[in-house]
């Protein structure tokens, strides 16, 4: 397996956010972590990429323990993160944002080739490459975030709330593109999503998280046909 999260507890100060969260992601899979607002989805991703540290438990990436590593080392190991919120470098151009995505050694050498590929997938970024990232629309910024994370050609891509603040058509488009990218590169993906139905249609497996604990796990197909899941989670549109 590529990623193994084993019984992590995470605190914000004195407030406990995650209780013994465990999940597995196998090579080449797309796995979705879903649950209601504030359930701990983003917290889980942020802990995996190193922005938060678990108090107990372990996180292993290809066998290597992540919890003592600083954030930039975890990125070096091959984990890319598409963060939630508009975290593009607003004052820098699209081109510069992408260049910075390829900051790490080997990625830097392959930078031009990777960028050309990104331009094929997201032509609008090529159009706007000399513009400041802050002037892009919400959807375009999201595309930039995805692209920037892909510039380092990660083995594992973490995606945090892709659909946040975006209209349904745009979200559909983005998910379609993610599927394309997955098919052509075989990249492993763990995504956290509010728009559960679309995410399940994209994924192989899923985990349900509520109140900081994993309460369910299974194949995406099973979740899609489950009445309970449909009642609880479908029809939750992304909140503005």
Partner 1 sequence: MAGQIIAYGIMVGVFYGLVAVGLALLFGVMRYMNIAHGSFMMIGGYISFFLFTLLRVDPFISIPVVMLAMFLLGIAVYKVLFSPLGKFPEGLRLGTSMLITFGLILVLDNVCALLWTSDPKTIATSYSGTTIEIYGIRLPLARLGVLGVTFIVIIALHLFLNRTYFGKSIRATAEDWEAASLLGINIGRTYLVASGISIALAGAAGTAVALMYSINPYGGLEWLLTAMVVLVFAGLGNIKEVFMAGLLLGIVEQTSVFFIGGEFRAVVGLVIFVLILLFRPQGLFRQ
Binding site for partner 1 (CB under 8 A): 49-51, 70-72, 75-76, 80-81, 83, 87-92, 96, 99-101, 103-104, 108, 148-149, 152
Q: Output the smallest distance, CB 77 to partner 1, in A.
A: 9
In the numeric block, the tokens 């892709």 are attached to 162
- Our CB check for partner 1 shows the closer of 76 and 210 to be 76
Q: Output the smallest distance, CB 129 to partner 1, in A.
A: 15
Query: What Å distances lie between residue 90 and 134, 144, 231, CA to CA?
Result: 4, 11, 39
Q: Output the smallest distance, CB 115 to partner 1, in A.
A: 14
- Our CB check for partner 1 shows the closer of 77 and 236 to be 77
DSSP characters for 135-151? GS-HHHHHHHHHHHHHT
SS3 state at 158: strand
The counts of H helices and E strands in the chain are 11, 10
Q: Which residues of 156-166 are buried (b: 16+ CB within 10 A; e: fewer)?
A: bbbbbbbbbbb
State the Cα–Cα distance between residues 56 and 72, nearest whole angstrom. Answer: 21
Q: Output the smallest distance, CB 240 to partner 1, in A.
A: 22
- Our CB check for partner 1 shows the closer of 36 and 69 to be 69
What six digits make up the tokens of 179?
């599927």
- Our CB check for partner 1 shows the closer of 158 and 220 to be 158
Q: Output the smallest distance, CB 9 to partner 1, in A.
A: 20
Q: Output the smallest distance, CB 148 to partner 1, in A.
A: 7
On the CB side of 79, CA atoms within 13 Å amount to 31
- Our CB check for partner 1 shows the closer of 75 and 200 to be 75
- Our CB check for partner 1 shows the closer of 104 and 232 to be 104
């Amino acid at each position: 397996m590529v990623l193994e999260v084993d019984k992590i507890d995470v605190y914000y100060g004195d407030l406990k956010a995650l209780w013994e969260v465990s999940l597995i992601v196998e090579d080449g899979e797309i796995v979705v972590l879903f649950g209601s607002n504030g359930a701990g989805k983003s917290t889980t991703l942020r802990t995996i990429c190193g922005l938060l540290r678990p108090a107990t438990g372990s996180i292993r990436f290809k066998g290597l323990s992540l919890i003592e590593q600083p954030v930039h080392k975890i990125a070096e190991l091959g984990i890319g993160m598409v963060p939630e919120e508009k975290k593009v470098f607003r004052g820098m151009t699209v081109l510069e944002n992408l260049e910075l995505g390829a900051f790490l050694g080997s990625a830097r050498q392959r930078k031009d080739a990777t960028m050309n590929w990104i331009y094929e997938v997201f032509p609008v970024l090529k159009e706007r490459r000399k513009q400041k990232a802050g002037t892009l629309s919400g959807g375009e910024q999201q595309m930039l975030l995805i692209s920037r994370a892909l510039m380092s050609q990660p083995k594992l891509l973490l995606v945090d709330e892709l659909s946040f603040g975006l209209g349904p058509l745009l979200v559909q488009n983005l998910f379609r593109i993610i599927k394309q990218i997955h098919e052509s590169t075989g990249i492993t993906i763990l995504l956290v999503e509010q728009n559960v139905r679309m995410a399940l249609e994209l994924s192989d497996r899923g985990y349900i998280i509520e109140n900081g604990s994993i309460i369910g796990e299974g194949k995406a197909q099973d979740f899609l046909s489950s009445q309970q899941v449909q009642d609880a989670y479908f029809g939750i549109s992304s909140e503005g």
